[in-house]
Each structure stands twice: as C-alpha cells, then as structure tokens.
Amino acid sequence: MSKLSQPHLLGIKNITREDIELIFETADNFKEVINRPIKKVPSLRDVTIANVFFENSTRTRLSFELAQKRLSADVVNFSASTSSVKKGETLLDTVNNILAMKVDMIVMRHASVGAPHFLARHIKANIINAGDGTHEHPTQALLDAFSIRERFRKLEGVKVAIIGDILHSRVALSNIFALNKLGAEVMVCGPPTLLPRHIASLGVKVELDLKKALEWCDVANVLRIQLERQQIKYFPSLREYSLYYGINRPMLDSLKKDVVLMHPGPINRGVELTSDAADSRQSIILDQVENGVAVRMAVMYLLAGANS
C-alpha cells in the first residue's frame, strides 16, 4: 500500500509504523529531487495549502513553505499576530473563512493542545499539525528519526537520549512516540523539575546525570530551554543549568565514542549546547534542516494524493 492510514497528520501517536516507513521511503525520493539543479516537481499543481501559524516560527514555517513550493502547490500564509484573531475571531471561524476560499490542506501551529484535532473533526481539509502547545510536533519527530536513519542506516536498536526541557517539549513527546514505533531505544535526561512525572510509562529510560546519559547513547537530541513557556522557575539560573546539563567540547571528548548531536533549533548557544559542540563534525543539526524539507514534501504528497 502506498497510502497513509490517516487523512491528517495530527500526531505520531495515531499513525502506524508502516505510515512512518512509507513517509521515509517517499522522503528519500524527494531528497534526491531537492538536490537536483531544478528542485521542483509538479505533483501538487492543483492543491492550495494554507499555513496557519498562531505561534511564532521561523524554521518550521520556512521549511513547510519551501516544501510546498518545491511540490508546486499554491500557498497562502497566515500569522496570528497580523490577523483578525487579534479582534477576537474564534479558531473555527478563522479557519472556515480560509476554507471558503477553497483551500485543500491546512498546516497549523497553535499554542493550545489539541487544536488541530479539533479542526480535523470540524473541517473538510487535510490537517497537518505543525506543533500544538506542549503536545506534539509530528513533522519534527519524523525528520529527526529520518536523520538518525540516514546516519545509522537503521533505527532498530539505536540508542537516543533526549536531553533538556522534556516537560515543555512537544518535540520530545513526538520523538518518543516515533522512536518507540521504529524500534529505537529512548532515554530522557534533564533536571527532575523538567521531567514530567510518569514519563517512564511511555517506555523510556530516565536519567538525571548527563554524563551517564551521554555514555549510554549513540545520539543525543538536545532540546531548547523554553523560557517562554515557563511561568515559574524550574531551575535557579541558566548558568547553573548550563553547568549541569549543557553539552560542551571537554565533556564530548571525555567519552569513548563520538555521540551524534541533534537539536531542533533554535539553539541557545552556551546554554544547552556550546558552539564548539554545535558546529562540530559530530553535529547533524544542518542535515536535520535539509531533511525537514524532504520529509514535509513526503507528508504533503501522501496526504494530498489520497484525497480523491
């Protein structure tokens, strides 16, 4: 079968391993496309896509927009800060108005958990979740797993440590779902205040000591400290966080192996990752960005293709 089991991509939790493998296989082909002299295919010529971003984003939005343009889709962009949302319009009204203009697919980022799931129930268009609050960020998890697969040529048995602010991270949750489905081993590591209670029930190892986590893993996916989501103090100071959970050159050099470093961006340089670690040969951060476009092309291609 070359069809996804769902008409939407709301989260990794509700798609299957076969779905993910189909997305990866398709993304392999799109990665070849975006490395050609002419980086464009006409597949989504008659598809209109709205990028609806109620929260700020540079990378994800740019990546989606590039992916859409490489597929020849028509794109409209909407950001909450410059729209009628400020005047008090509801989510459903906003999106219904966009749909009345004949849009086939909606890529949405929203600060509220479940906002894309709500839309999917009420609206006849393919919905892609580009991040809903602290819940899921499926395309990020897909591109992370795709990048690991590219580096190791497999995912089965690869040991991945997710390090940092797990509590506020939709990237962490989606990554855990994706890696579990694909047979990788997952560990989360961070200060106890930033680890959700019961996180171990998702089938991940929990480690408080960064050194031990790095000794265990093949890949360290380092997350950003999300100060904008933290209403209270979860740790005394950034300096102290960086002292206990920041990854730097001497620490990496003290390990017996080369751990592959990933980061979903934007990096707080000097906090969770120092520059001499982030820019080293161990880092695949820029590969992640390149793969992001290919993976998003694959998702939109597969969702749009199953429409008829």
Partner 1 sequence: MQKKLILDSQLLSITIDRLCQELVENHGDFEHTVLLGLQPRGIFLAERMKEKLDKTVNRDIPLGYLDATFHRDDFRRREIPARASETKVPFLIENKKVVLIDDVLFTGRTVRAALDAMIAFGRPEKVELLVLIDRRHTRELPISADYVGKYVDTLESQRVLVELDAAQKHHKIWLVNKD
Examine residue 279 and tell whether it contacts partner 1 (CB under 8 A): no
Q: What is the CA radius of gyration of the chain?
A: 19
Q: Does 302 bind partner 1 (CB under 8 A)?
A: yes
Distance, in Å, from the CA atom of 71 to the CA atom of 78, rounded to the nearest integer, reads 20
Rounded Cα gap, residues 237 and 98, in angstroms: 43
- In this structure, what DSSP letter does residue 205 have? E
Residue 78 or residue 301: which is nearer to partner 1 going by CB?
Answer: 301
Residue closer to partner 1, measured from CB, 43 or 140? 43
Binding status of residue 301 toward partner 1 by CB under 8 A: yes
124 touches partner 1 by CB under 8 A: no
Q: Does 305 bind partner 1 (CB under 8 A)?
A: yes
CA 217/CA 116 separation, integer angstroms: 33
Closest separation between CB of residue 303 and partner 1, Å? 9
CB of residue 138 to partner 1, shortest distance in Å: 19
**163, 186 Cβ separation under 8 angstroms:** no
When asked if residue 58 is in the footprint of partner 1 (CB under 8 A), the reply is no
Least distance CB 32 / partner 1 (angstroms) = 5
Separate counts of helices (H) and strands (E) for the chain: 11, 9
Binding residue for partner 1 (CB under 8 A) from 41, 66, 208, 289? 41
User: How many C-beta neighbours within 10 Å does residue 37 have?
Assistant: 4
Q: Counting contacts by CB under 8 A, is residue 74 touching partner 1? A: no
Among 5, 16, 18, 46, binds partner 1 (CB under 8 A): 46
Distance of CA 245 to the CA centre of its chain: 22
SS3 129: strand
- Chain contacts with partner 1 (rule: CB under 8 A): 1-3, 25-26, 28-29, 32-33, 36-38, 40-44, 46-47, 301-302, 304-308
